[in-house]
Amino acid sequence: KTPELTPVAIQAGLYLARRLFGGDKEAMDYQNVCTTVFTPIEYACVGLSEEDAVAKYGQNNIEVYHREFVPLEWSLSMSRSHNAAYTKVIVDKSPQENVLGIHYVGPNAGEVMQGYGTSMKQGLTLKTLTDTVGIHPTSSEEIVTLSITKSSGEDAAAGGC
């Protein structure tokens, strides 16, 4: 599936122009394009959805790490005290534990996700992700500190700070 987004079309056009007029041979890479939905609670993702990962690799060959949390700006404003943000990372169960997809629902989703898109293009693994020291207190920190898996049955709701 090719994302039908303006930035994708612009990038594809640049690659095409380079091939047609500059002698370049490189084609556009449509894998791991970040996508954001700019709704009141934003959603952003890069890579495969959980459903697509199951279809491609099989349910027994993936693991999903996830967490609900309350972003700092929501805690301070009390405007969304009843809502939680959510993030999940889908990995394959190979020895490398390659990251297949990252999903985030919460404030500034596009800003949070952009850097992970670059990492995904470089072959991000779970170890590299979790070895990253998060910036505290940020929503993006939640992605690099994930430890609860769906298969564990543990509650994904955050507790404490």
Sign of CA dihedral 26, 30, 33, 39: positive
| Residue 108, CA atoms < 13 Å, CB-side half-sphere | 11
Concerning whether 136 is annotated as a catalytic residue, the answer is yes
Beta carbons of 106 and 71 less than 8 angstroms apart: yes
Q: Which amino acid is at 101?
A: G
Cα distance between residue 57 and residue 152, in whole Å: 19
DSSP-assigned letters across all residues of 119-155 = HHHTT-BHHHHHHSPPPTT-STHHHHT---BGGGT--
**Does residue 104 contact residue 43 with C-beta atoms inside 8 Å?**
yes
Catalytic residues: 136
